[in-house]
Amino acid sequence: MNYGVLSAGILLISFILVFASYERKNISVKEISLIATLSGLAGVGRVPFAALPNVQPTTFLVMISGYVFGPGFGFMTGAFAALSSNFFLGQGPWTPWQMLAWGLAGFSSGILKKYIKRPSRLFFSTFAFCWGFLFGYIMNLWHWLFFVYPHTFKSLIITNMNSFYFDLMHGVGNFVFAYLFGKDFINILSRFKDRISYTEIPVKKIENKE
């Protein structure tokens, strides 16, 4: 039995259930459009950087989206960013794992906002740096299940060690993007969020006393 293919199938079914559950919530057309826009932007951001190993703005953009709009929004943005970008770079059994990894990156940033309202530039950049390794560990798990045999703890450790420099490049890229552009992107998206999430004030009916 190929555990890599099996795990990809399980993840795909899980995503279908998650997307169906999210769709049943009372979400606005504006929110759906915004998820599509940001996930498309994050996904396309991978393409120009494809020649650089693991250096791309996708993780940074997904994390910013989750930080500003919340955990659920961040997860959906990350998942769709992976799916959309792989239409250019190639779909495969790794796609569900990338959807999971980027979805969790966006989700965790939304959770971070609940506890730390205004993180410093260095703190958020360091958080993004750590996600370079966390993303790599998730993808290494897929690689380990799909290609490595036997499935032992030792072989898993060796798999993670072999990807260290690629994960380091991912982390450094995340740190640079977050440090240089993080505050500006947060401010821009926060202002946009304030514009689209207004509360409608009910208008009282004026009685005609004439």
Does the pTM surpass 0.85? The reply is no
- Structural contact between residues 65 and 73, judged by C-beta atoms closer than 8 angstroms: yes
pLDDT cut 70: percent of the chain above it:
88
Residue 194: pLDDT over 90? no
Residue 153: pLDDT over 70? yes
pLDDT of residue 198: 43
Q: Phi and psi (nearest 5°) for 203? A: -95, 125
Model pLDDT for residues 161-180, shown as the tens digit of each residue: 999 999 999 999 999 999 99
The better pLDDT of the pair 196, 116 is held by 116
pLDDT of residue 63: 94
CA distance 103 to 134: 12
Class in CATH terms, 3-195: mainly alpha
Residue 208: pLDDT over 50? no
pLDDT of residue 134: 94
pLDDT of residue 1: 55
Model pLDDT for residues 72-119, shown as the tens digit of each residue: 888 989 988 988 888 877 777 788 888 899 999 999 999 998 888 888
pLDDT of residue 43: 82
Model pLDDT for residues 30-83, shown as the tens digit of each residue: 777 788 888 888 888 887 777 778 888 899 999 999 999 888 888 989 988 988
The better pLDDT of the pair 11, 84 is held by 84
Beta-carbon contacts of 127 under 8 Å, excluding residues fewer than 6 positions away, are 63, 109, 112, 119, 178
Write down the mean pLDDT value for the chain: 82
pLDDT of residue 205: 44
> For the chain, what is the HEC assignment?
CCHHHHHHHHHHHHHHHHHHHHHCCCCCHHHHHHHHHHHHHHHHCCHHHCCCCCCCCHHHHHHHHHHHHCHHHHHHHHHHHHHHHHHHHCCCCCHHHHHHHHHHHHHHHHHHHHHCCCCCHHHHHHHHHHHHHHHHHHHHHHHHHHHCCCCCHHHHHHHHHHCHHHHHHHHHHHHHHHHHHHHHHHHHHHHHHHHHCCCCCCCCCCCCCC
When pLDDT is averaged across residues 140-163 and rounded to a whole number, the result is 87
Give the start-to-end residue ranges of the domains of the chain: 3-195
CA distance 196 to 210: 40
